[in-house]
Every structure is written in C-alpha cells, then in structure tokens.
C-alpha cells in the first residue's frame, strides 16, 4: 500500500513517516502546497494523509483537484483545525475521513485500514477475525453467524482493537478513541477496565476465537 503524507510540520511528518514505514507501507511525503499538488496529480496513492493549512496554499484545494481528476485513492484529512465547517467542507469535497490533531498513531493506523478496507470491499465495511465477523456499516458483531449483543462502548472498543490486531493499544489511546473529549483522562482508567472486562466475558460466553490480552500497566492487545 502506497501512502502520501502531506504535512508541513516536520516533527509530525517524520513521526508519521517512521511509523508507517514500520507498518510496511510505502511512504512518500510533501511539506508544501506546490509539491503536494504535483505529487497528487502525477502519481496514484492508496491513501493520502492531507493537512489543510500548508505553505503556499490550502489542502482543501488539493482535495478538490484530486476529485476532479477522478483519482480513486482514499483521503484522510489531518488538521489542527477541528471546526465543524472545515470538517463538513472536507467531507463534502470527497474526503473519506477527518482526524484532528493531536492523535495517537494507533488511531491513525486504524483509520487508514478502515478506509482502505472500504475501498477494497466496494463500500462494505466488513472484517473477519477467527469465527467472529464485524459489519462496521450495520454496527453488528456475529460469532459463527450468530449476532453478539454489545453496547456502544463495547462495540467501539472491540472494533478499535480489531483494526489494530496483534498490536499493543494503550489505555490512553483506547479511552480517547472511544470516549473522545467527553472524559477527563487523568490517571484513572477504571471505566476502560470495566468495559473491557464485560466485553471479554461476552466473547468467552459466545465461544469467540479471539483473545483480548491485558498488557500489565499499559493497555490491551487483540490476538487470534
């Protein structure tokens, strides 16, 4: 999978590049409007990570030109601008997702995988893990074709861990992904612990062939 990172903040650009290379993606990068526009128009990418505010121009203009050219790669807007207007404009222009800074790299990876899966499955967000299947569009979990009843938090936890299969997800990243800005993280993650405990019980009682491992003092890892 080939990814283009369009980002003018060097430290963040380097961090994303190193992380995505470690995940075995092919990575190219651009740090200003003109070089980004040139690369986006000449080459094809499976996914473009697009900042809005760039030296020399606006990332939304790049998005608009990409869509006019009929390019089919996924686009995730990554920007410090978290206003509703920017998000609506970006999605209306054809962006596949919008991720506000700051963010955890594990969440970025999950978003990339999600948009790539959607392209590969013609818009149907489906994921199979062992005898468990996830329908992201219908927000439904099935184990051997039998629906598994989960509350909204349990579903969000399971899908986030599933899209980061075999990878450590910290409690902080999990809490911010599922609860967003509606919580005060501080140092207490009891609310995460209890939701994961209930989720594990439901998976075990349904004979799911996946395991949510507890990495002591750090977070969780989903394995098959």
Q: 113 with 10, same domain?
A: yes
Say what the pTM is: 0.58
Adjacent-strand bridge partners of 143: 132, 146
Domain end point (choices 70, 86, 120): 120
- Mind listing the pLDDT tens digit for each residue in 71-114? 878 999 998 766 677 778 888 888 988 888 888 898 899 889 88
Q: Return the higher-pLDDT residue of 29 and 119.
A: 29
Q: 87 with 172, same domain?
A: no
pLDDT at 33: 95
pLDDT at 101: 86
Average pLDDT, the chain: 86
Q: 93 with 40, same domain?
A: yes
Q: 190 with 153, same domain?
A: yes
pLDDT at 134: 87
Per-residue pLDDT at 130 exceeds 80: yes
For the chain, the residue count is 224
Q: Could you give the dihedral angle defined by the CA atoms of residues 80, 48, 38 and 10, in that order, rounded to the nearest 10 degrees? A: 50
Q: What is the mean pLDDT of residues 112-126?
A: 68
Q: 145 with 197, same domain?
A: yes
Q: 6 with 115, same domain?
A: yes
Helix 59-68, helix 33-42: angle, nearest 10: 20
pLDDT at 13: 95
- Mind listing the pLDDT tens digit for each residue in 164-221? 888 888 888 888 777 765 555 445 677 888 999 999 999 999 999 999 999 888 889 9
pLDDT band at 129 (very low <50, low <70, confident <90, very high): confident
Residue with tokens 């990243």: 173
Q: What is the mean pLDDT of residues 134-143?
A: 84
Q: Is the dihedral of CA 176, 139, 105, 73 positive or negative?
A: negative
> What is the total count of domains within the chain?
2
Adjacent-strand bridge partners of 128: 133
Domain end point (choices 90, 120, 150): 120
Edge-to-edge order in the sheet of strand 169-170: 169-170, 219-223, 211-215
Per-residue pLDDT at 142 exceeds 90: yes
* CATH at residue 194: 1.10.10.10
pLDDT at 115: 84
Q: 85 with 8, same domain?
A: yes
Q: 192 with 130, same domain?
A: yes
Domain that holds residue 199: 126-223
- Mind listing the pLDDT tens digit for each residue in 149-162? 999 889 989 988 88
Q: 106 with 142, same domain?
A: no
| Cβ contact 175:192 at 8 Å | yes
Q: 8 with 102, same domain?
A: yes
What the block records as the tokens of 63 is: 């998005």
Q: What is the mean pLDDT of residues 48-72?
A: 91
Domain end point (choices 75, 104, 120): 120
Q: What is the mean pLDDT of residues 26-44?
A: 92
Q: 109 with 131, same domain?
A: no
Q: 87 with 161, same domain?
A: no
What the block records as the tokens of 199 is: 């989720």
* CB within 8 Å of 190: residues ≥ 6 apart: none
């Amino acid at each position: 999978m080939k990814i283009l990172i369009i980002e003018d903040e060097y430290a963040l650009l380097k961090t994303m590049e190193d992380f995505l290379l470690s995940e075995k993606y092919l990575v190219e990068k651009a740090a200003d409007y003109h070089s980004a526009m040139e690369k986006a128009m000449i080459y094809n990418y499976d996914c473009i990570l697009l900042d809005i505010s760039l030296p020399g121009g606006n990332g939304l203009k790049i998005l608009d030109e990409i869509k006019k050219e009929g390019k089919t790669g996924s686009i995730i807007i990554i920007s410090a601008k978290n206003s509703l207007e920017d998000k609506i404009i970006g999605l209306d222009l054809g962006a596949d997702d919008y991720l506000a800074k700051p963010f955890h790299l594990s969440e970025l990876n999950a978003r990339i995988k999600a948009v790539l899966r959607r392209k590969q499955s013609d818009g149907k967000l489906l994921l199979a893990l062992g005898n468990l299947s996830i329908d992201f569009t219908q927000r439904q979990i099935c184990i051997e074709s039998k629906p598994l009843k989960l509350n909204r938090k349990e579903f969000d936890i399971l899908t986030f861990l599933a899209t980061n299969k075999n990878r450590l997800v910290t409690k902080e990243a999990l809490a911010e992904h599922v609860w967003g800005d509606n919580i005060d993280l501080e140092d207490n993650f009891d609310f995460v612990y209890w939701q994961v405990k209930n989720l594990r019980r439901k998976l075990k009682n349904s004979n799911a062939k996946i395991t949510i491992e507890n990495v002591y003092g750090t977070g969780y890892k989903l394995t098959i």
